Chain A
């Protein structure tokens, strides 16, 4: 998309300027107050703590506590583990689907695409419930195994694998769409040219396709990392009570332990772990869009 110069249709050019600013003021101020200010204030109030006297002074005490507390470190570790495993599984599942959809045509491909996008229309709370009913204790999988005389599965419900299953399911649609959109940039000519010189399937994938969609893969990974690192509903419902992922951990520290300062410290630590992915993601979105 290219930037089209704005031509005024309301009023003249001169009077258009303040009117334009006035019209966008409300949402912009809302972003300042509800996004930018909370982030600045979160950092400020966790490094600028109330001291013995009446004032506040610089201190990294809450961060030192987080990184010396074994329970916090376990939670951070399980979050990093979940994020890594989920991102990897998503790529392993979605890349073949996207590759198939890029080159296949017809009804079967349309059906596969429809199914891959469908989880977008299933709220994660319904998904959590479905996972429990199917994979939980005495769930449908247990029923089916039992009916053919096989033993129960070791249910992933309330283990770290529960959130992984839920998060992979939930993130399939956007990962497939992002990868598919990247594969659209791989021209048929370049693939046919490589085939003509005798490239096999694997060589084609490794030398022709992957280099061209590496940016899309990074976007998909960034989007996943941002979503999973502080995911709340799925880890809260499907995950174990301890160690818990950062989302439920922050929620519990804030609401149940009534300790906003430490909850906000955890949030700032989550920001720090995601900042590279966040900036990369926002830059890619902005590149594709000009006002």
Chain B
């Protein structure tokens, strides 16, 4: 058996991958983290001359940082809210109802994924130009809303389908109305997965950069857009580092919740594997 052979051997391949990936993936992020807590780090010292929170105070005192945080949070909240309002009922209908064209409409949400994303954004921008939506809050909301549709419909559909139908039927048998059944039986069972989809779409929207840059700039400045301008024009390195750490917080929250979902094979299958 293969297992017996590998049992006592030192896993050199594993050690190689672990070291290489730590160097390539963790190390660059540690460098950014170190810069964020550095007051003075002059070339060619290998470690910073002075650690401290000086640049946290300075970054958080900047008006453009706060307006970008507010803009990012309100955009992500609005997009997630609108997405939940239009997608969750649709997901319920796809999971439970029969109507003409159900399959083709279900797969229509894949349409946007058959094209390179930025090309599609440029094509949409061409239409927004004549609608005067360029440089407006609602233009960015619309373009980010489209990006959430696939997740917000496909994941909840799977959630609704996995609800135990016998419990619903039992509730109906003892006289519960359709809304009571939905509220007391269906929603509690599908809830956690739907919450994960909502979280994913919030975080995804928060980091959406291309649409915000192409449609919104320069009037609509989200955190990632501000970060681009810091990278291009800001000589003080620490501002970008502090902003990176701030920017990473939503992703960290998503990481805590989504780990289990992603490790399971169903996630990769959703990407066509």
Contact = CB atoms under 8 A, between A and B. Distances in A.
A164 to B, nearest CB: 14
B51 interface: no
> Most B CB atoms within 10 A — which of A10, A96, A286?
A10
Contact of B213 (A24, A127, A251): A251
A177 to B, nearest CB: 4
Contacts of A179: 273
> Most B CB atoms within 10 A — which of A130, A188, A250?
A130
B264 to A, nearest CB: 10
Interface string A267-291: 1101100110011011011111111
B178 A9 contact: yes
Nearest to B129: A260
Contacts of B106: 291
A144 interface: yes
A10 B145 CA distance: 28
A209 interface: no
B29 A281 contact: no
B87 A143 contact: no
A163 interface: no
B28 A123 contact: no
Given A16-B97, A23-B89, A267-B122, A143 B43 contact: yes
A190 B252 CA distance: 40
B53 interface: no
B267 A177 contact: yes
Given A9-B178, A124-B209, A250-B122, A34 B271 contact: no
A115 B25 contact: yes
Given A26-B86, A281-B272, A291-B103, A133 B28 contact: yes
Contact of A30 (B11, B26, B86, B240): B86
Interface stretch (B56-64, B188-196, B224-232): B224-232
A232 B210 contact: yes
Interface string B42-86: 011110000000000000000000000000000000000000001
Nearest to A5: B98
B244 A126 contact: yes
A108 B31 contact: no
Given A31-B109, A268-B123, 19 more contacts: A10-B178, A37-B127, A39-B115, A41-B126, A41-B127, A97-B21, A104-B11, A115-B25, A123-B209, A126-B248, A129-B244, A130-B244, A147-B44, A177-B273, A178-B272, A237-B232, A246-B119, A254-B126, A291-B157
Nearest to A126: B244
A122 B185 CA distance: 37
Given A27-B153, A128-B231, A10 B97 contact: yes
18 contacts: A26-B90, A30-B145, A34-B146, A38-B123, A120-B262, A125-B228, A130-B29, A146-B44, A177-B267, A181-B273, A236-B228, A251-B213, A263-B122, A264-B122, A267-B123, A282-B111, A286-B107, A290-B103
Contacts of B13: 100, 104
Contact of B105 (A24, A106, A254): A24
Nearest to A290: B103
Nearest to A183: B273
Interface stretch (A51-59, A68-76, A222-230): A222-230
A113 B119 contact: no
Nearest to A177: B268
Contacts, number: 344
Contacts of A6: 95-98, 102
A119 interface: yes
Nearest to B256: A121
B129 A34 contact: no
Contact of A143 (B11, B44, B86, B254): B44
Contacts of B214: 232, 251, 254-255
A115 B18 contact: yes
Interface in B210-253: 210, 213-214, 217, 224, 227-228, 231-232, 237, 240-241, 244, 247-248, 251-252
B93 interface: yes
> Most B CB atoms within 10 A — which of A34, A138, A271?
A34
A17 B100 contact: yes
B22 interface: yes
A82 interface: no
Contact of B168 (A9, A24, A169): A9
A20 B119 contact: no
A115 B21 contact: yes
B46 A143 contact: yes
Interface string A27-68: 110111011111101100100000000000000000000000
A196 to B, nearest CB: 11
A266 interface: yes
